[in-house]
Each structure stands twice: as C-alpha cells, then as structure tokens.
A and B are shown apart, each in its own frame.
Chain A
Amino acid sequence: MKQIIGIVFLLFTSVAVISNASLMLISPKTWLRLPVWMKLTANFTERTHGTQSGQLKIRLLGAFFLSVMLWMLHGCLARP
C-alpha cells in the first residue's frame, strides 16, 4: 500500500514538474498565462517576469528543473 501511495505521488509530482518545466523552457509567456491550479508560479507574474530578462530567468529555471527530473529518471530507469 505504501508503495502505491509513493508511486502516485511520484507520478503526480513528475508530471507536474516536467510539464511546467518544459513549458517554462519553450514558452515562458504561455506558462505565465496558465490557470492558477495548473502552474507552479509562486510570485512569478506577467508584470514582474514579462520582460526579456524575466523570461530568460524562467527559461533557465525551467531548464534546471527539467535537468533535475531527467537526472532522477535516468537514475531510476537507466542505472546498471
């Protein structure tokens, strides 16, 4: 039972992080316009992060989170 609960949280968290991080990397403007329940923006808004430098920051953060998730998935699936 604990395994199932853990896997549910693993899937839920992985999907949320990978989808948000990918969108942050591809299109920061679209990510900022997502509905509240879908995005993990904290205090990121179009007003504060709609500028070129703000979008670059979002892209870097997205790339970082995507790298972390891919590293963990690589450890999970591809380690000998």
Chain B
Amino acid sequence: MELGAVVGELIDPAGGGVAGALIGSMVGVGGGISYVPSTDNFYAGPVITFAPQLFSGYGWNASTAIVPSGTNPNSIANGQSYSVTFQPTTFTGSTVTKSPGSPAVAGPSVGSRSRTTTFSASYSFDITPAARAVRSAVQSAVSTVRGWFQ
C-alpha cells in the first residue's frame, strides 16, 4: 500500500496518494520459490501480482502444477512465467501457469487471497547448485556430529 501511495503522490501530489494507495493495495511485489521434486531442482525470484480487489495485493498462495508427460517441468519453473490464480475460497483454488516455450499447466492452489482472481508475473533463477552445496555442508556437519557420539 505504501508503494501505491508513493506512486499516487508522484502522479498527483494533492490527493493522488489516496487513489494511489487504493490501487496500490491491489498490487503486490514479493518473492516466490519453486521446487521440482522429480529432478530435485530449486528456483527463486521476484513476483509481481495484481488482484482486482482492494487489499488483495498482499497475500500468498501455494500451488502445484500437473505437468503432462513429455514436458520438462524445469523449463516451466525456470526464467519468466505468468500465472492466473482463481481462488473462490482459501482452500479451494486453481492456478494456470504459462512459461514462454512451454505449454500452459494447471493445478490446485491454496492461498490467503480468497474470493478473487490474481494475475502474477515472475522471474525465477535456478539456485539448485547453491541448494545442493548447502545440503552437502549440512549433511557433512550432521555426519561429523554423529561421529562424535559413535
């Protein structure tokens, strides 16, 4: 909301902040994480969302995508992607995700933005090598500690 107010004040210093804040409450910026269990790959990056309902720019959701055979899930999770989430209630919703060069995929969704449709654009970076390095460090630390007690 603060971002919207700032943008509104820049556009119209006398009162634009109110309209800007209301519009801003429909827009959210944040982060997203994706995990592909079949290949053990991790992705993270920025997300911008728009929900045509006041104060629905804030919020979060988790969704899973059912990827058809023959489609590489990593090509959907990596780089830019666009998604539409329809969330009639908190625990029942669906997300359709489209990544350039890949077919659109859909799956169930759970989220705090209920009774609305949310449009999101995201860009994800492949952080699998870093995640695997952290995993190796944790696993070697665990085996070292185990060695002290054997």
Contacts and interface: CB of A to CB of B under 8 A. Distances in A.
Interface of A: 2-3, 5-7, 9-10, 12-14, 16-17, 20, 36-37, 39-44, 57, 60-61, 64-65, 68, 72, 75-79
Contacts of A20: 60
A76 B55 contact: no
A64 B116 CA distance: 20
B126 interface: yes
B46 to A, nearest CB: 6
Given A5-B125, A72-B35, A75-B37, A13 B30 contact: yes
Contacts, number: 104
Contacts of A3: 125, 127, 129-130
A61 B114 CA distance: 12
Contacts of A40: 58-60, 112
A42 B113 contact: yes
A61 B130 contact: no
B7 to A, nearest CB: 16
Nearest to A44: B112
Interface centre among A9, A14, A16 (most CB of B within 10 A): A9
Interface of B: 1-2, 30-33, 35, 37, 40, 42-46, 53, 55-56, 58-60, 62, 90-91, 110-116, 124-127, 129-131, 134-135, 138-139
Given A10-B127, A77-B135, 6 more contacts: A3-B130, A12-B31, A13-B31, A40-B58, A42-B113, A76-B131
A17 B31 CA distance: 10
